[in-house]
């Protein structure tokens, strides 16, 4: 005998299997929709900006999230710079002290990693950052390192100065630029948590 056909007033309850299949199908639709939005936004940004902006084709970046403890990281950095005798410049400006010199304690970690030719470079004066006398250590550097602190201090002091261009030249020569925490963030084009008031603001001034 044939099963009764549903008519007006009848309620059809889906089976457990049918509900599971329906849930998976809806999830898939949402995933495709989200992916489509992401691709559309990416395409839109690329169209507006003329494609992604990249740095020099040579060189290497060493980007450390923060609280660096493993000595192997700086050992690798020194090797990428060309070895223990290669000139390395350390720029601790993000730390916020008024002055830094060759007695900067942060140099010890590089000495422990084998580096022997170390120079500390620091200013908060953009005119100084544009001077050849200040930039000259970067002209010969094979490696440059930015320790942590507040990344906006680095941007305020060096963005679009001769120091900025000299850093690009380090990479063009096949050198290495690296940093930890704020020194890592400054290597990108967007400063997350870079607000000058507090580092708890994700998108600030």
Domain-by-domain residue ranges, the chain? Answer: 17-48, 60-185
Q: What pLDDT is stored for residue 67 in this prediction?
A: 77
The yes-or-no verdict on residue 41 having pLDDT over 80 is: no
Where does the pLDDT of residue 2 fall: very low under 50, low under 70, confident under 90, or very high at 90 and above?
Answer: very low
Other Cβ atoms less than 10 A from the Cβ of 166: the count is 22
pTM: 0.70
**Which residue in 143, 148, 168 sits closest to 158, CA to CA?**
168
Percent of the chain as helix, strand, coil, to the nearest 5: 45, 10, 45
Where does the pLDDT of residue 188 fall: very low under 50, low under 70, confident under 90, or very high at 90 and above?
Answer: confident
Where does the pLDDT of residue 43 fall: very low under 50, low under 70, confident under 90, or very high at 90 and above?
Answer: very low
Where does the pLDDT of residue 90 fall: very low under 50, low under 70, confident under 90, or very high at 90 and above?
Answer: very high
Confirm or reject CATH 3.30.300.180 for domain 60-185, answering yes or no: no
| Alpha carbon distance 82, 174 (integer Å) | 10
3-state secondary structure at position 111: helix
31 burial type by CB count under 10 A (0-12 exposed, 13-18 middle, 19+ buried): exposed
Average pLDDT of span 33-45: 35
């Amino acid at each position: 005998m044939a099963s009764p056909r549903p008519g007006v007033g009848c309620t059809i309850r889906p089976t457990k299997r049918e509900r599971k299949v329906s849930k998976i199908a809806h999830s898939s639709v949402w995933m495709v929709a989200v992916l489509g939005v992401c691709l559309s936004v990416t395409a839109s940004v690329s169209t507006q900006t003329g494609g992604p902006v990249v740095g020099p084709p040579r060189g290497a970046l060493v980007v450390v999230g923060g609280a660096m403890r493993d000595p192997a990281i700086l050992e690798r950095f020194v090797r990428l710079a060309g070895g223990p005798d290669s000139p390395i410049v350390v720029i601790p400006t993000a730390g916020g002290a008024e002055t830094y010199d060759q007695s900067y304690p942060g140099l010890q970690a590089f000495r422990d990693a084998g580096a022997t030719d170390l120079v500390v470079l620091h200013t908060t004066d953009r005119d100084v950052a544009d001077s050849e006398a200040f930039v000259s250590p970067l002209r010969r550097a094979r490696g440059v390192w930015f320790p942590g602190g507040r990344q906006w201090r680095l941007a305020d002091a060096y963005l679009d100065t001769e120091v900025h261009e000299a850093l690009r030249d380090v990479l063009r020569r096949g050198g290495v630029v690296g940093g930890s925490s704020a020194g890592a963030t400054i290597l990108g084009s967007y400063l997350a948590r870079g607000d000058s008031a507090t580092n708890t603001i994700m998108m600030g001034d």
